[in-house]
Structure 1
Amino acid sequence: MKEAEGLQKDGYHFSKLGGGIVDSGNGYWINFSSCSQKKARICSTDNRADIEGPKSSCSEITVNGSLSAESQDADYSYKPSLSYDLEDTVIARFPLLEYWKLCFVNKRLLALLLSGELFNIRRKIQFDEPSVFMFASGESSWLAFDREFKSCRRLPVLPADMCFFSGDKESFCAGTHLLISGREIEGLVIWRYELSLNKWYKGPSMLNPRCLFASATCGIFAYVAGGIGIMENSEVYNTAEKYNPDTQSWEPLPKMIRRRKLCAGCYMDNRFYVIGGRNDEGELTCGEYFDVSKNKWELIPGMFKDDPVLTYHSPPLVAVVNNELYSLEASSNQLKVYLKRTNTWKHLGPVPVKADSYRGWGVAFKSLGNELLVIGASAVSSTSNSMSIYTCCPDPNAKELQWNPLDSGRNQLSHFILNCSVMVA
């Protein structure tokens, strides 16, 4: 990270940090209110948590080109410092996608990032926020978006071989790790992106490396189940595993009741659900869930019996919001909600993207906090080939859902989404 050029006042030196500039050595924080107005506010760091409060000692400075600054009645005679506990609480509230910049501030913040303590603080103060990681057709690198898709940045290029880039991949998140499973020349591998360091690392491999599997995230943990290996005539798996990002390791779970590939996963009611898919005998209409408290699997006959079967279809498009399971029916572009008591599905109307264009492939359908997120080719406009992004707050009892567009044409990316995962941390 480059330091702010020419910004010095009475011997104090400042460096850029996120939406402002911090003097890590002398205890001042500069917040830029508007780039267009070229104004900034400088405050004692003891007021960072409540910058607009009555005790805030701030002055306005004018920023001109080289970031030279001249104080206006600023009082530098008293500079109380924050306690480390309070400072950590303030820093923990930084936007998640900006965390990697903290390692350039000082060694103490770097140590907090490496230890994961900042993320523990976020969980303690319940400051989790979802971020969307996506890989679209025609792109050379992954993209990260905030919840409202107002900010976007490219991740470092994944250092895998060409076999990995050209093949099918599955993605899922665990804590602050984004994991991508795919095939390299040497075999099935996993690459993980660590948000805090903004770097890619290889591994760790699953106990049973697989593709076309189901996955789901709960808290910092990720669950995978089913799928197949890459050997000729490889059997369909009924094995399952759990990933712990703190130890960067996998642990085995009890085997599923059914073998299945091309299945979907979700986490609901403290259970890991695996839905649909197929095995050597054909399409599966049953689902099953792993009960964490009982450490065993339970079968749900006919859970997916109402979903029309398409040739060469994608895994079921499912997402959970407020412990309710929703499905996007690829054959009709209809949104459905699962009625747990009757083991049936209720139609809630169409979604504004074309899931039927490629039999469910190329569409992202995810939960985004208390909203549903869908990304793909617009069903409203037939002239644009760029992606369309919509969210809605689903209501199982609503007669009609209101879908809200987020991108407004800003993201001129391909509408065909190869991989998409939501990280909540």
Structure 2
Amino acid sequence: MLEGRSCLISRALPSSCEQETKWAYMTHHLLERTSTKRSLDLSSGDQGDVLDKDLVIRTKSIKFTESSHSSSKSDCAESNNLISSIGRDNSISCLLRCSRSDYGLLASLSRGFRSLIRSGELYRLRRVHGITESWVYFSCAVEEWEAYDPYRARWINLPKMPHNECFMCSDKESLAVGTELLVFGKVVNSHIVLRYSILTNSWSPGVAMNSPRCLFGSASFGEKAIFAGGCDAGGAILSSAELYNSETKTWTTLPAMNKPRKMCSGVFMDKKFYVIGGISNHAELLTCGEEFDLEKGTWRIIPNMSLGLNGASGAPPLVAVVNNELYAAHYGDEEVVKYDKKNNVWVTLGRLPERPASMNGWGLAFRACGERLVVIGGPRALGGGVIELHSWVPRYGEPPEWNMIARKQSGSFVYNCAVMNC
């Protein structure tokens, strides 16, 4: 987890970076001073037009004015225009520890910085070194998405989704995996996928599943994700499952579950994938869950794993995993419950936040965001309202104590929500 709200560059530098500490420290503060400016559109060809030009000039000046560390043009070329005095590897070591909120600004400094960030190399290395920030992405309007960075307390507006009348009116599912946000929906008699990339800040068509579906259970781990169950284009409820690799943009068919189910939820816990709740072929409300062992490639039924979590409306269970512990929002009783793995029962911990409301389980998001649980929603109001993010860090034996970490004018009904960890 990225520590606190600072870049930590000067604290985390290797010994060979010590001479560049002043550059890193001053760059961080220049970035902080521009934190309220509009985010940089990485898809733009001319990055400097969007960025505060004074910032670029001052940052480049800091970078190259130290005479004791000046280098030739050939040295700069060899280091791809990063911090030439300390070399490419140490430059990357410094950049890994910057907040990804600042990557748009850093991409404007040179072609080397821009190539490093847009290629996704920095994010792959962050994953290897366990440097992760969890941002919440959600949609309270049909074609609009926004994100919230809890480390810098920043709101980020994403570009509007490409307009498609059928797609906008269909049921949609979403999941963040790697550096992508995937949104699944239906057009006439087929399913499509739209893909938002944080590398380019743009939407594009995603790669279709081997067996396209909607209303499935899903969860991601790093650059991979598993999708199980759901409905095909004809409405048939599925038991099949697939694995998606966001690095290769490929789908792999997995063994099928024991039971077909739709309107279910998925989580990863203890290096295994779980599908919880849902509705079967005969409109039966399922109380069992299924566990998929990735190493063995087998499914196991867990009786009563989702007992009481699905409401009468059939809304998918609101579940989330923090530190390999499974939690659920029991929206009927407005309570938070925790799964006792040993005894296969749910234990009540305390209350959900008071203000966010749901409509029989719809319109409210309950997610894991790093080491915290977040509830996203708002009080119901005609003609608009507010969206609120409430946060709680679970601690053993303590009841929930929710803190509102963000609030803004917005629609208060959450259509889709995902957390991106990268």
Deviation at 1:376, TM superposition (A): 1.2
* Alignment equivalent of 1:124, drawn from 128, 146, 157: 128
Equivalence for 2:37 = none
1:297-346 deviations in Å (ceiling 9; x for gaps): 01101112244x53323100000001000010121111000000110000
What is the match of residue 229 of structure 1? 232
Aligned equivalents of 1:194, 1:45: Cα separation in 2: 35
Distance 2:254 2:53 in 1: 58
Contact kept in structure 2, 1:215 and 1:225, CA below 8 Å: yes
Please tell me whether the aligned partners of residues 147 and 368 of structure 1 are also in contact (alpha carbons under 8 angstroms). no
| Aligned-pair CA distance for 1:51 | 2.6
Q: Distance in 2 between matches of 1:98 and 1:208?
A: 38
Q: 2:89 aligns with which of 85, 88, 94?
A: 85
**Aligned 8 A contact 1:332 1:356 in 2:** no
**1:153 alignment partner in structure 2:** 156
Aligned residue in 2 for 1:401: 400
Decide which structure has greater helix share. 2
More strand by share: 1
Are 1:421 and 2:395 matched, yes or no?
A: no
CA change 1:186–1:125 in 2 (3 A) is same
CA distance in 2, matches of 1:255, 1:341: 26
In 1: Cα distance, 2:323 partner to 2:206 partner: 32
Structure number, greater radius of gyration: 1
What are the superposed Cα offsets for residues 323-379 of structure 1, whole Å, 9 maximum, x if unpaired? 000010121111000000110000011111467640110111000111101011259
Matches within 5 A, 1:6-155: 46-47=20-21, 51=25, 67=54, 76-80=66-70, 81-137=85-141, 140-148=143-151, 150-155=153-158
2:243 aligns with: 242
Structure 1 residue 266: Cα displacement: 0.3
2:325 aligned partner: 324
For 2:114 and 2:153, the matched residues in 1 are separated by 27
Match of 1:188 among 172, 188, 191: 191
Query: CA contact under 8 A between 1:330 and 1:355: conserved in structure 2?
Result: no
Is contact 2:391-2:402 (8 Å) kept? yes
For 1:294, which of 293, 296, 301 is the aligned residue?
296
Identity fraction in percent: 34
Residue pairs, 1:378-389, within 5 angstroms: 378=379, 385-389=385-389
Superposition pairs of residues 350-389 of structure 1, within 5 angstroms? 350-353=351-354, 357-378=358-379, 385-389=385-389
Question: How many Å separate the matches in 2 of 1:402 and 1:187?
Answer: 44
Deviation (angstroms), 1:148? 4.5
Please tell me whether the aligned partners of residues 358 and 364 of structure 2 are also in contact (alpha carbons under 8 angstroms): no
Residues 48 and 145 (structure 1 numbering): CA distance in 2 closer, same or farther, change over 3 Å?
farther
Residue ranges of structure 1 left out of the alignment (5+ in a row): 1-18, 21-28, 30-43
Distance 2:334 2:132 in 1: 31
Deviation at 1:194, TM superposition (A): 1.1
For 1:66 and 1:114, locate their aligned partners in 2 and report how far apart those are by CA, in whole Å: 21
Structure 2 match to 1:174: 177
| In 2: Cα distance, 1:49 partner to 1:120 partner | 25
- SS of the aligned residue for 2:386 comes to coil
Letter in 1 for 2:134: P
Alignment of 1:327-342 (within 5 A): 327-342=328-343
Query: Unaligned 5+ residue runs, structure 2?
Result: 1-5, 10-17, 35-51, 71-84
**Residues 285 and 314, structure 2, Cα contact 8 Å, conserved in 1:** no
Q: Could you tell me whether the CA contact under 8 Å between 2:119 and 2:199 is conserved in 1?
A: no
In the aligned structure 2, how far is the partner of 1:205 from the partner of 1:66? 41
The answer for the alignment partner of 2:272 in structure 1 is: 271
Checking the alignment, whether the CA contact within 8 Å between 2:357 and 2:377 is kept in structure 1 is no
TM-score in terms of structure 2 length = 0.79
CA distance in 2, matches of 1:422, 1:67: 34
Alpha-carbon distance in 2 for matches of 1:412, 1:355: 14
TM-score (norm 1): 0.78
- Does residue 280 of the first structure (1) align with residue 284 of the second (2)? no
CA distance in 2: counterparts of 1:391 and 1:192, whole angstroms:
28
Q: Distance in 2 between matches of 1:49 and 1:374?
A: 39
Q: Is the 8 A contact 2:311 2:361 kept in 1?
A: no
SS at match of 1:118: helix
Corresponding letter in the other structure for 1:404:
N
Contact 1:149/1:406 (<8 A) preserved: no
Structure 2 CA distance for partners of 1:115 and 1:148, relative to 1, 3 Å: closer
Equivalent residues, number? 369
1:412 aligns with 2:409: yes
Residues 311, 99 of structure 1: CA spacing in aligned structure 2 closer, same or farther, 3 A cutoff? Answer: same
C-alpha change, 1:46 and 1:315, in structure 2 (3 Å) is same
* Distance in 2 separating the partners of 1:271 and 1:76: 52
